Structure 1
C-alpha cells in the first residue's frame, strides 16, 4: 500500500479549502450543485455505462444492457437520459425500421472517463487492502 506524505495531505487540504472554504457547510443547500453533478456522474450504473462506452466506442441500448449486468431497461434508459442531458454522451437515432439508436461518449464524457480510469486503477491497486480491512473489521 502506498504511503500518503504530509505534503499530499497539505495539498488535499488546500484544494478542499478552495472548494468549500467560502461555503457554510451547515447550510447543505449551498453545496447542492456539487452533490447534484456527482450524483449523476458517480452512481454505479453511470460509472459502468461510461466505462463501457469508453471501451466500446459506440453501443446500442441492448448491447449496453448486456454489458451492464443487472441493470433494468427502465434504469438504463433513465441513466442514459441523464448522462446525455449533462453532456457525457451523445445519442444518435437512425430512421430505420426498426429504429437504430447508438450511444457514444462526447469529448466531455471522455474527460470524465480519464478520471474514472484513475479511480478504477486505484481500486484495482487497493482491492486487497480493502478486503483485508473488511475482514479485520468484521472479525472474520
Structure 2
C-alpha cells in the first residue's frame, strides 16, 4: 500500500495551522507552559484512549466492567485515568447510594466530540497499519 502524495497546497494549509497554533509561543519558555502538550498527554495516553473508545461503544460502564475491557490496566491506573478524564470533562461519574456502592461512567457531550476525533485517528491507523508494519520490519523493530 502506498501513502497518498501530500500536495503543496495541503502542506501550506498544515503549516498555517501549525503557525497559528504555535506562532505565539516562545520556544525557550514553552516547554512547561504548553497547554496543548499538557492536554494531549492526558487525553491521548493508551489507557485513556481505550477507556474513551469503550465508553463510546458501551454507553454506561461500571469500574469492574471497564477493568475487564481495558485488558492489562491496574486498578490504580484505571482509577487515576477515570478521575483525570472526569476532571477534564470527558466523562461523568454517577454514584448510587447502594450497598455495595454502584458507580457508573459515561461519556459527556464533550467526550463524544473527542471520541469522533479518536475514531478519525483509529481509521487512519487501520488504513495505514500495513505500511507501518512494513516500515518496522525494514527498520528491524519487529
Query: Which of the five TM-score ranges fits, normalised by the shorter chain?
Result: over 0.9
Matches of 1:130 and 1:47 in 2, distance apart? 20
Matches of 1:6 and 1:81 in 2, distance apart? 43
Higher helix share: 1
Work out which structure has the larger RCO, using CA pairs closer than 8 Å and 6 or more positions apart in sequence: 2
For 1:133, the equivalent position in structure 2 comes to 135
Q: How does 1:86-105 map to 2 (within 5 A)?
A: 86-105=88-107
C-alpha deviations, 1:21-57, integer Å up to 9, x for none? 1111232346421111111100000000000000000
Alignment coverage as a number of residue pairs: 140
For 2:11, the equivalent position in structure 1 comes to 9
Q: How does 1:68-107 map to 2 (within 5 A)?
A: 68-107=70-109
For 1:53, the equivalent position in structure 2 comes to 55
Matches of 1:18 and 1:32 in 2, distance apart? 14
Question: Which 5+ residue runs of structure 1 have no aligned equivalent?
Answer: none
The TM-score with structure 1 as length reference comes to 0.95
The TM-score with structure 2 as length reference comes to 0.94
SS in structure 2 of the partner of residue 109 of structure 1: helix
Q: Is the 8 A contact 1:23 1:31 kept in 2?
A: no
Matches of 1:49 and 1:139 in 2, distance apart? 28
CA shift, 1:8, in A, is 1.1
SS in structure 2 of the partner of residue 23 of structure 1: coil
